[in-house]
């Protein structure tokens, strides 16, 4: 079973690789990611959030009816982005943190579904925010990278203290 990787794990800062072949391993990854996302009460998840450096994201903003609107995007790209929206975001990989993030309000994205079929998505509001957030993960960008230096450093100090307590001072935060 896979687990959510949390900050400061270095995999979260690395750029994910293109999926060349949608095989059984990718299908299993998608299935396991969706189970984990729903169990964690998330609305989106990127493969590198579970330690797999592949360009795969899933999302379902209809969290009240889990599984009804699950979308899989393999090798996603944003081809158009317009207007701005500021939204209070959280992240499964950055626990106990929320920040006001400026995103594009409307986007067009392209990618492949889990069967390798090309798909185009037009999204606005929360769906657009979610897609941008997950693609950020694939590019090694966290919500911490979108907030002020002060807020980011406060969170880093909090995590460093937590790690120091849990590891008896043997681990340092980079």
Active-site option among 20, 53, 82, 134: 134
Is residue 64 situated within a structural domain?
yes
- Of 10, 3, 102, whose CA–CA distance to 45 is shortest? 3
Is residue 3 situated within a structural domain?
no
Which structural domain, as residue segments, surrounds residue 106? Answer: 10-166
The pLDDT of residue 68 is: 75
Per the listing, tokens 């009816």 go with 65
Is residue 115 situated within a structural domain?
yes
- Tell me, rounded to whole angstroms, the distance of Cα 88 from its chain centroid: 15
Helical H segments across 2-97, by residue range: 24-39
Number of domains into which the chain is organized: 1
The pLDDT of residue 163 is: 86
**Splitting the chain (174 residues) into consecutive groups of 10 residues, what average pLDDT does each group show?**
95 98 98 96 97 98 78 98 97 96 98 98 97 98 96 94 74 41
CA angle 24, 29, 35 (to 5 degrees): 130
The pLDDT of residue 162 is: 87
Is residue 56 situated within a structural domain?
yes
The pLDDT of residue 171 is: 45
* Chain segment 56-102, per-residue pLDDT in tens: 999 999 866 766 789 999 999 999 999 999 999 999 999 999 999 99
Is residue 77 situated within a structural domain?
yes
Per the listing, tokens 């950020």 go with 136
Residue 71 maps to which CATH number? 3.90.45.10
Is residue 174 situated within a structural domain?
no
Is residue 75 situated within a structural domain?
yes
The pLDDT of residue 156 is: 94
Distance (Å, whole) CA 164 – CA 170: 7
Active site residue 122: no
Is residue 125 situated within a structural domain?
yes
For 14, residues 6+ apart whose C-beta sits below 8 A from its C-beta are: 48, 53, 140
The pLDDT of residue 168 is: 62
């Amino acid at each position: 079973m896979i687990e959510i990787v949390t900050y400061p794990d270095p995999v979260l800062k690395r750029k994910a690789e293109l999926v060349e072949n949608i095989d059984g391993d990718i299908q299993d990854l998608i299935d396991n990611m969706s189970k984990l996302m729903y169990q964690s009460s998330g609305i989106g998840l990127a493969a590198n959030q579970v330690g797999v450096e592949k360009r795969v994201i899933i999302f379902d903003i209809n969290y009240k009816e889990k599984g009804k609107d699950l979308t899989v995007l393999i090798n996603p790209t944003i081809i158009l982005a317009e207007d701005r929206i500021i939204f209070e975001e959280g992240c499964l990989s950055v626990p106990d943190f929320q920040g006001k993030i400026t995103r594009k309000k409307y986007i067009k994205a392209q990618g492949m579904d889990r069967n390798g079929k090309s798909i185009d998505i037009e999204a606005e509001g929360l769906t657009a925010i979610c897609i941008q957030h997950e693609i950020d993960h694939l590019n090694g960008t966290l919500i911490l990278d979108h907030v002020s230096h002060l807020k980011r450093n406060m969170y880093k100090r909090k995590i460093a203290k937590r790690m120091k307590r849990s590891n008896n001072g043997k681990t340092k935060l980079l």
